[in-house]
């Protein structure tokens, strides 16, 4: 039933690019550390960069567990489920890295997301993932659900922030500059948003 793939292309690429959401899973190296699982959405915020590399936009939020775990050890799994059409689950196991606004790769990476305006969402990083293992499974038990639309709440909430107020927002959150387990999270204050 399940299959391992050498690359992200063809039917596999079409499937993951068509999904309105996916999940990320990370963990610290410590055996008693907190495992993190996060849903990711917003159409246009995910991109396939090449046959083994994907990226997604990391927007403002009240924690930074994924960033902290990636900064510590780089391990990440991404998962997509077919909530409509033929049943399918795809996982990309790999190594990830958060790229921050002051990184020289920022503008080049951001160009891979032409279908979304990141400015109202408090974009704080671009997470780049290099695949080590790509596989699918049947997904027979995944429920059928209908996608209606992206919520506009995130954009409306963070559109009123500028770089300074967004940094202040993050500084006021317990698990943004450091993770639940005390690992370094989002570097604060945020580097300024690069000029377009």
pLDDT tens digits for 6-62? Answer: 999 999 999 999 999 999 999 999 999 999 999 999 999 999 999 999 999 999 999
pLDDT tens digits for 58-69? Answer: 999 999 999 999
From start to end of the chain, where are the E strands? 3-5, 22-26, 36-40, 46-50, 53-58, 75-81, 89-99, 125-137
Taking the domains of the chain in order of start, what are their residue ranges?
Answer: 3-171
DSSP state of 57: E
**CATH class of the domain defined by 3-171:** mainly beta
* Distance, CA of 19 to CA of 83 (rounded, Å): 8
pLDDT tens digits for 62-106? Answer: 999 999 999 999 999 999 999 999 999 999 999 999 999 999 999
* Distance, CA of 16 to CA of 134 (rounded, Å): 12
* Distance, CA of 155 to CA of 177 (rounded, Å): 22
pLDDT tens digits for 103-119? Answer: 999 999 999 999 999 88
pLDDT tens digits for 121-164? Answer: 999 999 999 999 999 999 999 999 999 999 999 999 999 999 99
């Amino acid at each position: 039933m399940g299959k391992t793939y050498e690359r992200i292309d063809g039917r596999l690429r079409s499937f993951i690019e068509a999904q309105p959401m996916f999940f990320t899973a990370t963990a610290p190296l410590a055996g008693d550390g907190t495992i993190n699982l996060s849903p990711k959405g917003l159409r246009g915020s995910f991109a396939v960069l090449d046959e083994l590399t994907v990226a997604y936009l990391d927007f403002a939020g009240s924690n930074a567990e994924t960033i902290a775990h990636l900064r510590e050890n780089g391990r990440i799994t991404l998962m997509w489920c077919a909530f409509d059409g033929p049943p399918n689950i795809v996982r990309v196991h790999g190594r990830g890295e958060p790229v921050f606004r002051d990184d020289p790769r920022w503008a080049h990476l951001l160009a891979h997301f032409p279908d979304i305006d990141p400015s109202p969402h408090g974009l704080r990083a671009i997470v780049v993932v290099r695949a080590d293992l790509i596989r699918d499974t049947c997904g027979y038990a995944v429920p059928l659900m209908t996608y209606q639309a992206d919520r506009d709440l995130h954009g409306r909430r963070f559109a009123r922030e500028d770089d300074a107020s967004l940094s202040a927002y993050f500084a006021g959150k317990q698990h943004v500059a450091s993770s639940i387990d005390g690992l370094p999270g989002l570097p604060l204050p945020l580097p300024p948003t690069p000029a377009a």
